[in-house]
Amino acid sequence: MTMHKTLGMNVEAMIEDLRTLVEIESPSRDVNALTASAKAVAAVIEGRLGGQALIVESEAGPHVHWSAGGEPKVLILGHHDTVFPLGTLARRPFKVEDGRATGPGVFDMLGGLVQAVHGVAALDDRSGVEILVTADEEVGSRSSRALLEERAIACGAVLVLEGAAEGGALKTGRKGCGTFRVTITGRASHAGLEPAAGVNALVEASYQVLDIAALGRPDVGTTVTPTVASAGTLDNVVPAEASVSVDVRVESADEKERIETAFAALTPHLDEARIAVRGAIRRPPMPESASAELFAVAERLLPGIEGKAVGGGSDGNFTAALGVPTLDGLGAVGGGAHADHEYLLVDAMAERANLVAGLVRTIQNA
């Protein structure tokens, strides 16, 4: 595949910028680490694009916002928080070997940020371009959602630099996703002397897991997956507390409403057991219609590029739900997100940076 009107990209410079970002660890919720990471992101942006990258403080950590000025036309959206705890870098340092860059966060999604910056840097005209790099995408975007939605509406088009789908495909649709936590309260008693005097929260949790799992409808793309459970204190005590965490993915707003209503309606099977439910599907579905216009541009720029709907969520879910044209998966080509074998394909970096540049240029001239 070849890009029309390709621009020169310095891959060695991209790798050095990637090294800079990866070697400043940035686990979600660690505000001190994220503060150092935000400063590094801002320095890379300013060094390549000029101007000032603003540090936007939040309780989750600093976000970074850069604007070229002029009428806003396109928002390049990413995040600098990663899922890896401090110390991961010592065990898995950044390196480039056999055409692959490895290290915590190279694919999700520091590589995409670097490619975007270099893609924009290659343009003679950067007017109307904004870059927003948030600090809490991996943990729900609660502190950044209002800002990213505001800038998405102002710009009118969003390019999301999350890692590509399998085979380098762009992400043209995403499921809505959320987590629910179901807490069961029973009553403790001696498991040998008077088990009937207790209300067994573990038994109630078992009933609830079966009820919850039955809410899934794979035929319409809805998955409801109990993932974590805990109960009990000692092996001779009827457990008084239990909890179940549940991952939910949906493709439609109707299914979002059905699932949220069903969780609210959960009722106990055992007399005197009590149930409390927290959570929601906080990332709405990103329909493929939201990406259709921009994906058509990408196909013209890079003939043969594929688009795929995927199960994972991103901040593109929020912008698409606002009706703002959104194209996702424009970042690194590689794999292993959130895993120790995470990697980025170096040979794809220039092509992806060129794709970002071509999309920006097309949006500017629309």
Distance CA 349, CA 351 (A): 6
pLDDT tens for the chain, residues 1 to 366: 334 456 789 999 999 999 999 999 999 999 999 999 999 999 999 999 999 999 999 999 999 999 999 999 999 999 999 999 999 999 999 999 999 999 999 999 999 999 999 999 999 999 999 999 999 999 999 999 999 999 999 999 999 999 999 999 999 999 999 999 999 999 999 999 999 999 999 999 999 999 999 999 999 999 999 999 999 999 999 999 999 999 999 999 999 999 999 999 999 999 999 999 999 999 999 999 999 999 999 999 999 999 999 999 999 999 999 999 999 999 999 999 999 999 999 999 999 999 999 999 999 999
pLDDT of residue 346: 98
C-alpha count within 13 angstroms, C-beta hemisphere, residue 337: 20
Q: Is 242 strand, coil or helix? A: strand
Closest C-alpha among 135, 139, 122, 127 to residue 177: 139
Q: What are the residue boundaries of the structural domains of the chain, listed by start? A: 11-175+286-365, 176-283
> Residues 6 or more apart from 271 whose CB is under 8 A from it?
199
Closest C-alpha among 9, 179, 127 to residue 364: 127
Q: Is 48 strand, coil or helix? A: helix
Catalytic member of 25, 130, 136, 137: 137
Q: Is 340 a catalytic residue?
A: no
Q: Count CB neighbours of 78 within 10 A.
A: 27
From residue 233, give the alpha-carbon distance in Å to each of 227, 238, 240, 308.
20, 9, 9, 46
Asked if residue 58 lies in contact with residue 136, where contact means CB atoms within 8 angstroms, the answer is: yes
Q: Is 124 a catalytic residue?
A: no
Report pTM: 0.91
pLDDT of residue 90: 98
What would you measure as the largest C-alpha separation in the chain, in angstroms? 81
CATH number assigned to the domain with residue range 176-283, chosen from the 4 options 3.10.110.10, 3.90.550.10, 3.20.20.140, 3.30.70.360? 3.30.70.360
Residue 334 pairs in a beta bridge with 344
Asked if residue 244 lies in contact with residue 208, where contact means CB atoms within 8 angstroms, the answer is: yes
pLDDT of residue 332: 98
Closest C-alpha among 73, 101, 319, 49 to residue 64: 49
Catalytic member of 81, 204, 260, 342: 81
Could you tell me how far CA 364 lies from the centroid of its own chain?
Answer: 26
Distance CA 333, CA 268 (A): 47
What order do you get walking across the sheet with 176-185 strand by strand? 223-231, 241-250, 176-185, 274-283
For helices 31-49 and 111-121, what crossing angle results, to 10°? 20
**Burial of 32: CB neighbours in 10 Å, binned 0-12, 13-18, 19+:** exposed
CATH number assigned to the domain with residue range 11-175+286-365, chosen from the 4 options 3.30.300.30, 3.40.630.10, 1.20.120.1770, 3.10.450.710? 3.40.630.10
pLDDT of residue 8: 81
